[in-house]
Amino acid sequence: MKRSTALLIYAAPIVLPAGLFLSVLAAGSPMFRTAIPSEPRETARCTWYCHNHGCPHRAVLPSALTGDAGLFGRTIHGLFALGSQLSGRRDVGYGSANLLVFCVLWPGLMYVLAVVAIRQRLALRARRARGRA
């Protein structure tokens, strides 16, 4: 594969989201909405009320995932623990840990795994081509 094609394949997942992010910022406010939607609370389904004020509905997912003792709770406690190492202020540390984990580490891991998968696919394709030649 040509070097320019490889560079494009590896750089696109980084450049495209950054470009989209910057274009949304450059568009100015408001882009699509003029205010946060306000809807009344409905007992049968979630509305913007749930988003703006917290959801009073019973969770559809099992409590092992959504409860304080489940995955969600452990994630929040882990972020607070990491945040306490990053900053003395609880809110700043939690926010920093949240950004670090979900905006840097997790996407970075996914990018590395994507690069490994692309390289393996190209290696298998080259091996198959050598076998046919």
State pLDDT tens for residues 48-88: 888 888 888 877 777 777 777 888 889 999 999 999 999 88
Banded model confidence at residue 29, pLDDT cuts 50, 70, 90: low
Per-range mean pLDDT, top range of 19-28, 34-43, 49-58, 72-81: 72-81
User: What is the distance between the alpha carbons of residues 102 and 38, in angstroms, rounded to a whole number?
Assistant: 28
Quick check: 1 pLDDT over 70?
A: no
**Residue 15 within any structural domain of the chain:** no
- Is the pLDDT score of 133 beyond 80? no
Query: Considering its fold, how many domains does the chain have in total?
Result: 1
User: Which pLDDT does position 60 carry in this prediction?
Assistant: 77
Range of the domain at 80: 64-133
Q: Does 89 fall in a domain?
A: yes
Look at phi and psi of residue 46 and say left if phi exceeds 0, alpha if psi is from -120 to 50, else beta.
beta
pLDDT at 105: 95
d(CA 78, CA 85): 11
Residue 22 falls inside a structural domain: no
pLDDT band at 30 (very low <50, low <70, confident <90, very high): low
pTM: 0.61
- Domain-embedded: residue 50: no
Whether residue 2 is predicted with pLDDT greater than 90 in this model: the reply is no
Residue 133 lies in a domain: yes
2, two tokens: 């040509």
In a domain, 29, yes or no: no
Domain assignment of residue 11, yes or no: no
Higher pLDDT, 45 or 112: 112
Contact 82, 100 (CB under 8 A): yes
pLDDT of residue 55: 83
In a domain, 55, yes or no: no
Structure tokens at 83: 């945040």
Number of neighbours of residue 98 by Cβ within 10 angstroms = 16
